[in-house]
Structure 1
Amino acid sequence: MASSNLPRPDNESARLDALKRYDVLDTPAEEVFDRITTLAARYFGMPIALVSLVDETRQWFKSHYGLEISCTERRLAFCAYTILEERVMVVPDAMLDKRFADNDLVTGPPHIRFYAGAPLVTEDRHLLGTFTVIDQRPHWDFGPDRQGDLADFARLVMHELERRRALAQAEAARAEALRANSAKTRFLAAASHDLRQPFQAMELLTGVLAQRLQDQADNLALLERVQEALHSGQGLLHGLLDIATLEAGTVEPTISEFRMCNVVKRLVREMSALAERKGINLSVTECRRSVRSDPLLLERILRNLISNAIAHTERGRVLVGCRRSGAVLRVEVWDTGPGIPLDQIDLIFEEFYQIGNPERNSRKGLGLGLAIVRKTAELLGHHIGVKSTLGKGTMFFVEVPLTQAETEPAETTEAQTQTEFAGRTIVVIEDEERQRGALSMFLESLGCQVIATSSATEAVSRVRGGFPPDVVVSDFRLAGRKTGLEAISAVRLAVGQRVPAVLVTGDTDPQRLRQAKRGGYTLLHKPFRPEDLKQALTKAFTNRRG
């Protein structure tokens, strides 16, 4: 028997809350606690050693050496008395103690005669339970030294409980951070289509205006400033969406063999005007080697490195060069900028980190360029690195696998890719009116005959019975849960020919991108520039001739 009217600590409610915060009740056995009870039993020469936690109605054993059961009712618990005071409680002979003489655990199994318990005390002085040793015979020699040793064992148990709790909190915080980051990434990836749409319309409309203002120098200069602001905002958006798509795992490399000089020379031509405006000499060394990589993703890496070099160089030069290093081609971008402090070398590849922009001037970007470089290089399995000397300049490099074959892939000259657009018939399928109008207006400014439609049904009705169009340009996401893939297939079926197609998308869903790839379409990602559209159309026309 035992009294059901056991005394309870004055702070019982707060004590129970503290116990629950450790989230340890009814958890599986753990080796670290079992080792402690085993060691204590040997050290004190006792057959039973316990880690006991006292909740509302029971005492539960996190570890129970020498005892088969895992819990008892609280009304039977010696520990219910131990947690009343912050000191070791010793019962030399339970048969002689009126509190426990008729206790079921004394008169029956496990036949407790000796008990010693040290409270498990939290940092805020709550007593969660005890570290206990028990024997079936009395002990009158458990003096202050042994009680001190038992208290040390209790402190060791509390250290492990605190460590366990801290690890659990850290893991919960990490999981929450991952969930938040994943939610952000999923949002940006899912919303990328809608975020890109306004920029796309503005890009095409300013392209039309630029053609109409060729003979009006003042107005053309004003438009160029508008385009600069547009490209700046578009660049910031691109950076955010590029990071989101890389983190979401929606980018799939398409590996091929190509001459490195084609990519490098194209980028140097593209950025030469920017370098000239700053009075910087931008040059490239000759490179005839071929590599294996995804040309578009590699171009993204190098574009960021070159633009970064130009942005941080006030005078002098930026040089792009290649050198062989074993089985890889090392592409290097040198500048004569201010250099990077040694203690910031490892930080520059982190998202949103910038050197020399404490005011967070958005005209200097968001600090995403090198983060995109790092993540893209990791995706491709390419090693990147940096060497820098303060006051002299910086060199970034990326190492790309060389091709095995000695023969070089054929190079297509710019003259070969020039296409005459005048007179071409192009079917546009775009359900959003502003986008459809901007796209149609730009194509018409090139001299194309445009059949502008809002759906596959309308496109089919417009082309059926007439001459097949030269190309179909369709948005990927159409109204009514339809896709551009379905729309293009419907047009091809209606005219009885495999008409070339350009698929325009702002989506980053990997399944959608794989569908487009399998269909063999020319893929154009929003927001694109007028020149990108012209190149995509040229590619589609070339495919038709092939």
Structure 2
Amino acid sequence: MPPPRTGDLAHLPRHMPFSSYDLITEPQNLGAILEAIPDLLFELGLDGRYYSYQAPREDLLTAPPERLLGRRVTDVMSAEAAAVVMAALHEAHQYGRSTGKQLTLLLPHGLSWFELSVARKTPQPGQGPRFIVLSRDITASKHTEDALRQSRDRERSRSDELATLLDVAPTAVWIAHDPQCKLITGNKLAAQWLGVEDGINVSPAAIDHARVWGCKILKDGVELAPHQMPLQRAAAGEEIADYEFDIVYPDGRTRHVLGNAVPLRGTDQRIDGAVTAFIDITARKDAENLAQEARQQAEHSNIAKSRFLAAASHDLRQPLSALGIYVNLLKGEVLPSGQKILANMSDCLGSLSELLNDLLDLSKLDAGVVVPNVSTFSVSELFANLASIHEPEAQLKNLRYKCRASTLTAHTDPVLFKRIVDNLISNAIRYTQSGGVLVACRRRGGKHWVEVRDSGVGIHPEHIIEIFEEFRQLDGGARNRGSGLGLAIVAKTAQLLGLEISVRSSPGLGSVFAIEFPPGPALTPPSHPAAASEKRRLCIALVEDNGLVREALTLGLQAAGHRVIAATSGPVLGAALGAQVPDIVISDYRLADGETGYDVIDRVRKLVKPDLPALLVTGDTDPQLIRSMADRGIVVLHKPLEMETVEAYLEDLTYQSH
């Protein structure tokens, strides 16, 4: 059956939901208007039978036109869809119209959604009830609606996930939802910090939100005003990073927190509010405070130790200095039968002097007055010099002492480096009872090393780190001699020079101590030095308030051929000098009645000449005092004195002044 003409739908009721009804009622316009309608238009009976239709496209029909007219909706669509149509027909039969009912149809191009509008026609003679049904394709809008709903569901899901994340995160978050901070919310941790069980959702007049629950916000011990709060500052446009403050609770507990605060901006870059995120650093702060207290206690202990050592060293050096000079003077006076006893006395003095020198070296390093004087020197010459010192000592213990020659040079402070190697060799000989000691250069790990290898008692690996501590000696056996300072000095000196120390050891098999050295360029052979000039006889002005030391030092200097004018203080020396002009002034540092060696040197220089050579003698090892001496640029010798050392300084100082 061909499709009916549009005139078949001419009798439309006035209550149809179409616009411009007056135009529709004009017969000459009806056909064009119906052709322009993009929706399906049907005439159905109350039993669902099709009497006519108008379709913009036949692919929107559930059946071909020839199978559609005269049949019922139950014959051409699913039972569910047919039930929706029949319900709309009965509703329109009862109330005159029905709108808004939706159904789905499986069409050739896929599943489609339709929305129905049904109106009852004016009854015609001999006809049963007829209805005009408008079926609008809403598939596209349905898909859009579904997409929007899914998007809203996803947004809601993401919002829920974010809320869950914020609640489980170990971070307290406060959010101001407007620039004036009239609405503030926070996650569960933020609520717990402020003692709020049900979460934070308040509208205070200002950001003084902590006071709502009785807490105080302190910064460096000072309570913050409302406008100083990080959230309100961020809402005013400020970005705050690594901000610390304290939450003080009514019961006196304090929580230390750290975090950031940033403004929240909209798409137009206007500030819409602010957010802060803070973590609890109470445990870290407590640990830092404990560590600070421990450091202060350690510093106080070190200061007390340094003062004790300085005082003890000074008091010990006075008699030792005099005793050393007397023993040296006795060497040519004692009979052969007494030389062994005199040698034993010298050994005892040497041991005591070594201990005091170790204390002095450590004090100098702690005071920071040791300044490296870097130069290039021959490693072989260093080895030869040390061999002349340590080989006889090794032979006395029936140990083999061997140095392997090297063509290398080192570029560091030769005096400090020699002291390190000298200490390592001394330890190797001291703790080796059989076998020998080997000193050699090695290249390992891309670096050059001086290795000192011994066959001594060895060290357990877990104790290696301990041997570099001050006054630390391992228990038992051969490792119970010495001051316990040697390797501490080695470690501090190596650190000063920026050099690495390496230790390999096995108990009972021996040890290998190695010190790194930067290689230097090749050295040109030195020219032959000119013959030394004849030793000068000097007039020496000496001030020492300790009678024993003054007398011993006077005798030692006179034995070396010098003339000595000795006194107990600067004023006494000035009177004793009269018109005499000394070549050099030597003074002890600590004198009676608060006078110092500086005062003596200044007095004599004013009497004689401003650039008169001067030598300061002291037994002090206090780091601060040593530092002050170095700052004055005066040559300082430390007790106990070796006359050979004093002679060398006298010659050097007086030679430079002529």
TM normalised by structure 1 equals: 0.63
User: Aligned pair in 2 of structure 1 residues 181, 497: CA closer, same or farther (>3 Å)?
Assistant: closer
Output one character per residue of 1:263-300: Cα deviation in whole Å (capped at 9) or x when no partner: 44333323334323212233434456544433332232
Q: Which amino acid aligns with 2:617?
A: V
Identity rate, percent: 35
In the superposition, relative to structure 1, how do residues 38 and 440 fare at CA in structure 2: closer, same or farther (>3 Å)?
Answer: same
> Where do residues 46-445 of structure 1 align in structure 2 (5 Å cutoff)?
49-52=191-194, 68-69=207-208, 161=282, 164-185=285-306, 188-189=309-310, 192-213=313-334, 216-287=335-406, 289-322=408-441, 330-357=449-476, 361=480, 364-404=481-521, 406-407=523-524, 420=535, 424-445=538-559
- Give the Cα separation in 2 of the matches to 1:344 and 1:65: 62
Are the equivalent residues in 2 in contact too, given 1:282–1:318 (CA < 8 A)?
yes
Q: Distance in 2 between matches of 1:399 and 1:165?
A: 41
Say whether the 8 Å CA contact 1:280–1:314 is kept in structure 2: yes
Letter in 2 for 1:35: T
Deviation at 1:456, TM superposition (A): 3.5
**1:215-255 deviation digits (Å, cap 9, x = unpaired):** x2332222222332233233333334433432333433344
Q: Who is 1:90 aligned against?
A: none
Q: Tell me the amino acid that sits aligned with residue 628 of structure 2.
A: R
Which blocks of at least 5 consecutive residues in structure 2 are unaligned? 1-167, 176-184, 216-250, 256-278
Report the 3-state secondary structure (helix = DSSP H, G, I; strand = E; otherwise coil) of the residue aligned with 1:348: helix
Query: Does the CA-based 8 Å contact 2:377-2:523 persist in structure 1?
Result: no
* Distance (whole Å) between structure 2 residues aligned to residue 211 and residue 403 of structure 1: 45
Compared with structure 1, are the counterparts of its residues 526 and 295 closer, same or farther at alpha carbon in structure 2 (3 Å cutoff)?
farther
Distance 1:33 1:49, change over 3 A: same
**Alignment-derived partner of residue 35 in structure 1:** 171
* Pairwise CA distance, 1:377: 1.0
CA apart distance, 1:128: 7.1
Indicate the structure (1 or 2) with the bigger Cα radius of gyration.
2
Name the SS for the 1:305 alignment partner. helix
Equivalent in the alignment of 1:87: none
Count of aligned residue pairs for this structure pair: 420
Cα distance in 2 for partners of 1:166, 1:65 equals 35
8 A contact 2:453–2:510 mirrored in 1: yes
Secondary structure of 1:235's aligned partner: helix
Counterpart in the other structure of 2:31: none
State the distance in 1 between where 2:540 and 2:201 align. 80
Q: Distance in 2 between matches of 1:173 and 1:442?
A: 49
Q: CA deviation at 1:311?
A: 0.3
Q: Equivalents in 2 of 1:248, 1:396: separation in Å?
A: 26
Work out the CA distance in 1 between the residues paired with 2:295 and 2:631.
34
Alpha-carbon shift at residue 525 of structure 1 (Å): 2.2
Superposed CA deviations along residues 87-114 of structure 1, whole A, max 9, x for unmatched, are xxxxxxxxxxxxxxxxxxxxxxxxxxxx
Once the two structures are TM-superposed, the CA of residue 170 in structure 1 deviates from its matched residue by 3.6
The two structures have a TM-score, normalised by structure 2, of 0.54
Q: Secondary structure at the match of 1:357?
A: coil
Any conservation in 2 of the 1:464–1:495 contact (CA below 8 Å)? no
Task: Flag the 1:539–1:195 CA change in 2: closer, same or farther, 3 A.
Answer: same
Alignment partners' CA distance in 2, 1:360 and 1:323: 27
Does the alignment pair 1:514 with 2:635? no
* Residues 366-389 of structure 1 deviation map (CA, whole Å, 9 limit, x = unaligned): 322111100111112222222334
* Contact persistence 1:386–1:395 (CA under 8 A): yes
2:193 is matched by which residue type in structure 1?
V
Q: Is the 8 A contact 2:358 2:489 kept in 1?
A: yes
Q: Deviations over 1:320-379 (max 9, x none)?
A: 334578997633322222333333333322223323537984xx0232211110011111
Which structure has more RCO (C-alpha within 8 Å, separation ≥ 6)?
1
| Closer, same or farther: CA 259–163 of 1 in aligned 2, 3 Å | closer
Q: 1: distance between equivalents of 2:169 and 2:291?
A: 21
Distance 2:429 2:202 in 1: 70
**C-alpha separation in 1, matches of 2:254 and 2:471:** 50
Aligned to 2:617: 504
SS at match of 1:426: strand
SS at match of 2:438: strand
From the superposition, tell whether residues 256 and 501 of structure 1 become closer, same or farther in structure 2 (CA, over 3 Å). Answer: farther
Q: 1:501 to 1:170 in 2, by over 3 A?
A: closer
RMSD: 4.5
State yes or no: 1:536 paired with 2:649: yes
- Tell me which amino acid in the other structure corresponds to 1:393: G
| Residues 477 and 251 (structure 1), Cα distance of their counterparts in 2 relative to 1, 3 Å cut | farther
Bigger CA drift: 248-257 or 199-208?
Answer: 248-257
CA shift in 2, pair 1:511/1:237, >3 Å: closer
Shift of the alpha carbon at 1:434?
2.3
Q: Contact 1:352–1:367 at 8 Å: present in 2 too?
A: yes
Q: Tell me by how many angstroms 1:192 deviates.
A: 4.8
Equivalent position amino acid for 2:171 in 1: R
Structure 2 vs 1, CA of residues 232 and 471 (structure 1 numbering), >3 Å: closer, same or farther?
same
Distance 1:424 1:287, change over 3 A: farther
* 8 A contact 1:285–1:321 mirrored in 2: yes
Give 1:69's aligned amino acid: D
Q: Distance in 2 between matches of 1:193 and 1:277?
A: 33
* CA distance, structure 1, for counterparts of residue 595 and residue 501 of structure 2: 41
Distance change in 2, residues 1:167/1:391 (3 Å): same
Contact 2:457 2:507 in 1 (8 A): yes
- In structure 2, relative to structure 1, the CA distance for the partners of 1:441 and 1:369 (3 Å cut) is same
C-alpha contact (below 8 Å) 1:341/1:390 kept by paired residues: yes
Aligned-partner residue type, residue 427 of structure 1: A
SS in 1 for 2:331: helix
Distance 1:299 1:367 in 2: 19
Unaligned runs of 5+ in 1: 1-31, 54-58, 79-126, 132-156
Amino acid at match of 1:504: V
Q: In 2 relative to 1, CA 474–290 (structure 1 residues): closer, same or farther, beyond 3 Å?
A: farther
Aligned partners of 2:369 and 2:630 also within 8 Å = no
Corresponding residue for residue 91 of structure 2: none
Deviation of 1:207 after TM superposition, in Å, equals 1.9
| Equivalent AA in structure 2 for residue 357 of structure 1 | G
